[in-house]
Every structure is written in structure tokens, then in C-alpha cells.
Amino acid sequence: MPKLNEIKGVAEKPKKKSAKQVPALEVKGKLIGQIAKYNAASDRAKLAQGEMAEIAPTLLAEGLEFVFTHNCECREDTKKQIKSVNLTEPRTEDMAPDEAPEAVQFSWSTRAGKCDAIVVKAHFADLVTVDDKPADVNKYAEDVIVVDFDKKALMDSKGKFMQARFDKFKKALDEVAAELNIENPLTFYKEFKQTGDMNDLRFKELNPSQNLALHLVLPTSSSLEPVRSNGEE
């Protein structure tokens, strides 16, 4: 019997079952009624997610402005700069002395979001620092190299995988590309993104309103997490 020609060194693709193949199991005993409760809870969760999505932008904007303003004020002492703040409801007269008002924690992350080079360059065209000097866009964003691999280099003209090519490319990609007289499948292109120093420079060089405007063209991320009255998040 012919031996199966297996591709070596590559894990198998996980198997997925389609909806038609999923069997049905009728629950019994204590589980009766739990499915309906779960589905109802899921519906409530989806509704709550919609309400949260509607409210979140205003809370995120409030937290972001506070954090950016505080960090600009602490530009000379970066150890005092913060990434989080608790947004709280005002205390009311009917609250017990030991009762904490509702609160949600805003957290700002330096994780970079997507940005557009043309928009960013236009934003920096007339941006000046707190020292009244032109802000250097190159300190805030830059082109970086992104690598793609063309898997066609591992196939023959009919699209059949060639194990020998795969093994050789793993060992020495550039050498094998020249040997097979094909274009190097390792292609390069540039991507415009924030620099690693951007979030250290922003509070030193720019004021709070400039930082909020910068956030629109060189976005970072932020989040909200409810703070419970017992102090636990």
C-alpha cells in the first residue's frame, strides 16, 4: 500500500464541526430550566453591552482628559504621572457614612492604535510644543518594516506542497530563493506607527488640549472597570 505523503513540521489544522453536525442532548434533573435561564441572562448581557457602549465614550473622554492634564502638570516628575483614575458619583445626603458612591476605574494604556501617515503629518504641520518650538513628528511616529511570506513559494505550478522546498526555506530562506530562481517570498513593506518614545515625550512637550488632539490622530487605548463599594475591582 502506498505510504501517505505527509507534510512534516507543520501542525494539523484544528477540526471544526458545522452547525449541522452538532448533536442535541436533552438535559435532565437539576439542569432542567437552566438553559432558559442562561439564554435569558445572555440576552440581558447583550442589552447591557449596548447600554455600556452608549455610555462609555463620555466616561472615557472624562478620564482621558484628567489623566493627560495630570501628567502634563507632572512633566518634570514622571514618577507622579498616572494611567488610572476612579470616576465616582457624587455623595448624596441619604448615603451612610461608610457607604461608598458608585465608581468606575478609567485606565489609559500606551498600546498604540492604527494611524494614518497623511493625517498625522498634517496634524504636526503647525503643532508647537509648550516651549513654542515646532513639534517633531519623527519623535512621535515613524515607518517600521512589516514582513510577509508568500506561501506560493512552497508549491509547484499545480499548487501542490513541496516538502523539500519547505525544509530548505526553514534553513536558509534567501539562499534557497536564489537556488530555485524565484523571487524571495519574504517581502518587505513599511507601516506608519507610533514610536516607543511617544508617550514619554507627549507630556513633556505638549499641553493637555494638544495631547487630547494628538490622541485623535495617534490613538492609544483606554478602558473602564466598575469599582465595588468594598474596594475590590
Query: pLDDT tens digits for 149-178?
Result: 788 888 888 888 888 887 877 777 788 888
Rounded Cα distance between 58 and 224, Å, is 11
pLDDT at 68: 97
Which residue carries 534567501 as its cell? 174
> Where does the chain show beta strands of DSSP type E?
84-88, 103-112, 141-149, 186-194, 220-227
Helix axes 34-73, 208-217, angle to 10 degrees: 130
pLDDT at 10: 57
pLDDT, mean over the chain: 86
Mean pLDDT within 30-54: 93
Rounded Cα distance between 77 and 79, Å, is 5
- Tell me the pLDDT band of 1, cut-offs 50, 70 and 90: very low
Question: pTM, whole model, 2 decimals?
Answer: 0.69
Which pLDDT tens digit goes with each residue over 174-205? 888 888 898 877 666 778 889 989 999 999 99
